[in-house]
Amino acid sequence: MAAILLILRPLAWINTILLRIGRNIAWVAMGLMVLIIVLQVFARYVLNNALPWPDEAARFLMLWMTGLIAPSAYRWGGFVSIDLVKDMLPAWLGQLVTLCLLFVSLLVLVVGFQMGLKHVSSGWLFNSSSLKLPLEIFGLGLVRIKLAWMYMSLPVGIFMMILVNIELSLKAIIGLIDPSAELPVDQDQTVISAE
């Protein structure tokens, strides 16, 4: 069990840092997304002149927000789950069921990560239809944004979820070996749930 804890502690620390950064970027993305949508509503209904780029920019931000916030939700148990059967079982058997479900989830996440990478590689072939960087100010031309930057949110989010899954799996293994073991706690979750 000492070997598992030796792996678990740094992994939990890394996950805490990565997920904190991801959540902060996700909140910024959400705020920008709201501002961009309000701008588009104003332009479309007040000025009667819809802008070409806000819809795609909001979609870009939404994808990144989702990819960066989902790992925190996974770590904190924020996804929909049915715990009725697990809770009716003896503690060790419930922990074993949890470990099996985490293993199945890990397989799905690994396949999703591979598919996400393939999707990103195809995204380098296509430009966004409306998102462009106006670099004429610096003497450069208009640079069209590649769709791969949008698609990259999928493998990034799934990779972070794989790290969380490994952490949760190690905690489940320790719970099977010694249910009273002292496990690393995510301080961010404690702060959020205390409010």
Residue 193 lies in a domain: no
Q: What pTM value is reported for the model?
A: 0.86
Residue 87 lies in a domain: yes
What SS3 class is residue 127? strand
User: How much is the pLDDT for 180?
Assistant: 78
For 183, counting Cβ atoms within 10 Å of its Cβ (0-12 exposed, 13-18 middle, 19+ buried), the class is middle
- Consecutive sets of 10 residues in the chain, 195 residues long: mean pLDDT of each? 84 94 96 96 92 91 95 88 78 87 95 94 86 77 85 96 95 86 74 51
User: How much is the pLDDT for 139?
Assistant: 75
* Cα–Cα dist 132/147, whole Å: 11
Query: For residue 166, how many other CB atoms are within 10 A of its CB?
Result: 17
Residue 14 lies in a domain: yes
User: How much is the pLDDT for 190?
Assistant: 61
Residue 189 lies in a domain: no
Residue 194 lies in a domain: no
Contact of 115 with 124, CB cutoff 8 Å: no
Residue 190 lies in a domain: no
Number of domains the chain contains: 1
Location of structure tokens 């701008």 = 39
In terms of residue numbers, what domain contains 89?
A: 2-181
Residue 188 lies in a domain: no
Residue 70 lies in a domain: yes
User: How much is the pLDDT for 8?
Assistant: 87
